[in-house]
Structure 1
């Protein structure tokens, strides 16, 4: 049974350990990779052996955080999961570690406490924000490499500081790392201002699937494997697609259904009136109040109707 531990306990554990394996979640994003590599650099500065692993390849767009990374080869003695709320997020190539995680560092309220010990800061905007506190607790001075990772994690998980999870502490953390020389303008340009041609192609396909429900207060988009193949897009290019429905004026709930093996991954984005995590929890998923996900083993149309039925109940309860 997992137990919650304090920041001081987290740091004491890490100080005593060596040969540390740090795990990122499947389909890695800026927060999981930023958190993992910030911790990696901190541990290495302490003279410890550490490496980062992920079930999926690291996307090219994040290579600036680890341009010369060559993983150390050793038999892991301690395993840390960063930004992984549930074992379903490990991915096939990391499933062998599911029952071996010693410590999970996370910010998702839906964390299932699968690790032996968990350090969860549910009101943090990103796990990278939490990781900065961990690095401070280790007595390590932040360098530019760590700061770049932390900024990237925070910026990507807050939608460049636009999402409601952004707090005063989030801005203070960003200010601190920018003060260390982080090129925030270039990072934000890469993360939010540039798109590949295949990303534009998949967006075109997605817009053609748009449906409106609940008096136009709910927008639904779909992504099938056929659409991805037609666009020539891969997983690394899909970050942020699920935000498209809620960019539409008047939409309070945005639903994205993406075809995966055996069913559909559901991504939910909501306004302040609807709790996305409560909706996804009814399908065994979770996340945050404004952004959550789940998986439904069903056909596209059936999965869509199941989600919409719960969304309609949420609108009724909120009297919207």
Structure 2
């Protein structure tokens, strides 16, 4: 069983370690990349040997971050995972699984964290791991927030909250963003890169997804789908599809938005976004996934019809539960 740590203890273990390898999850997003590099820069500022490893390449939209990739030049003696809730999310490339087996510490904000690491610092109330590190790095590790670190952490805070639009963005999240901006984070430039620029392939993928739009349960649930052929044909990168998950939930009257994306192995990655009363994590967890109350996900093997049937059954159960609770109020 994993050992639960507070920030002070987690920081103390990082300060006592060296030759540190920081792991991100597969199909990396802004939070796993930003937190990995931000922590790496902080550890290097302490004079430690540290580097980042990920199963998949960094998406083009994050190329402004100069990541210290692990090149095999040292043998890791301490392994840290950031923003990775379960072993399945690490991927199989770049020998990542070899290091996952000996993860010393996991820093995460998913309440569904499986506890695979020897020790965990999990704060589900945080909107992003980068929000946690915004305080942990200067207050507990004792490393000042440089503009470079601040840009990394702002990337994660902004992307995991949809530029502060999601309900996961709390007052503490905004305070964290303010602290990063005071430290030199280029919020305006980063927001433009992350949220205002769409490639032609991304727009084509959105058009394909909208053509698949379907409604269920008296229009309380909306679903969009992208097959592997459509993803390959448009040439869109996985990272550019992340914000597509908010689209079906944004439709008036929709309580559950589902986005199905077929993976290279034929399985479907399902993103679940919900309204305030519906538990997205409960829906995903019953299918082997997890996440947060309003944003969660899972993967389902089989064809598209099988994936639709499985996820819609769980959505129907959760909507029925919500209806029962409303009747009791």
TM-score, with length taken from structure 1: 0.97
- 1:123 maps to 125
- 1:145 maps to 148
- 1:191 maps to 194
Equivalent residues in 2 for 1:248-263 (5 A)?
Answer: 248-260=251-263, 261-263=265-267
Distance 1:263 1:54 in 2: 21
Q: Secondary structure at the match of 2:52?
A: strand
Equivalent residues in 2 for 1:11-30 (5 A)?
Answer: 11-30=11-30
Tell me which of 268, 273, 285 is aligned to 1:269: 273
- 1:32 maps to 32
1:233 Cα deviation (Å)?
Answer: 1.6
1:248 Cα deviation (Å)?
Answer: 1.0
Q: Secondary structure at the match of 1:268?
A: strand
Distance 1:234 1:158 in 2: 20
1:168 Cα deviation (Å)?
Answer: 0.9
Given the alignment of the two structures, is residue 237 of structure 1 paired with residue 243 of structure 2, yes or no? Answer: no
8 Å contact 2:59–2:237 — kept in the other structure?
Answer: no
Equivalent residues in 2 for 1:162-177 (5 A)?
Answer: 162-177=165-180
Aligned length: 319
1:238 Cα deviation (Å)?
Answer: 1.5
- 1:212 maps to 215
Cα deviation digits, residues 76-119 of structure 1 (max 9, x gap): 11000000011011001122222110000000011001000000
8 Å contact 2:35–2:130 — kept in the other structure?
Answer: yes
Cα deviation digits, residues 204-250 of structure 1 (max 9, x gap): 11111100011111100111111012212232322211111011111
Cα deviation digits, residues 270-309 of structure 1 (max 9, x gap): 0001000001111111000000011111211121012111
1:191 Cα deviation (Å)?
Answer: 0.8
Please list every run of at least 4 consecutive aligned residues from structure 1 whose deviation after the TM superposition is greater than 3 angstroms: 69-72
Distance 1:30 1:111 in 2: 19
Tell me which of 99, 102, 105 is aligned to 2:101: 99
8 Å contact 1:221–1:255 — kept in the other structure?
Answer: yes
Tell me which of 271, 279, 284 is aligned to 1:280: 284
- 2:66 maps to 66
Instruction: Tell me which moved more, 233-242 or 6-15.
Output: 233-242
8 Å contact 1:24–1:84 — kept in the other structure?
Answer: yes
Distance 2:70 2:109 in 1: 26
Is the alpha carbon distance of 1:70 and 1:36 closer, same or farther for their aligned partners in structure 2, counting shifts above 3 Å?
Answer: closer
- 1:306 maps to 310
Instruction: Tell me which moved more, 117-126 or 96-105.
Output: 96-105
Cα deviation digits, residues 34-66 of structure 1 (max 9, x gap): 100110110011110000010000112112121
Tell me which of 188, 200, 203 is aligned to 1:200: 203
Distance 1:263 1:161 in 2: 31
Q: Secondary structure at the match of 1:240?
A: helix
Q: Secondary structure at the match of 1:141?
A: coil
Is the alpha carbon distance of 1:316 and 1:71 closer, same or farther for their aligned partners in structure 2, counting shifts above 3 Å?
Answer: closer
Given the alignment of the two structures, is residue 292 of structure 1 paired with residue 296 of structure 2, yes or no? Answer: yes
Instruction: Tell me which moved more, 82-91 or 254-263.
Output: 254-263
Given the alignment of the two structures, is residue 41 of structure 1 paired with residue 41 of structure 2, yes or no? Answer: yes
Distance 1:184 1:42 in 2: 20
- 2:82 maps to 82
Distance 1:213 1:132 in 2: 41
- 2:228 maps to 225
Considering only aligned residues, what root-mean-square deviation do their CA atoms show, in Å? 1.3
Structure 1 residue runs of 5 or longer lacking an equivalent are: none
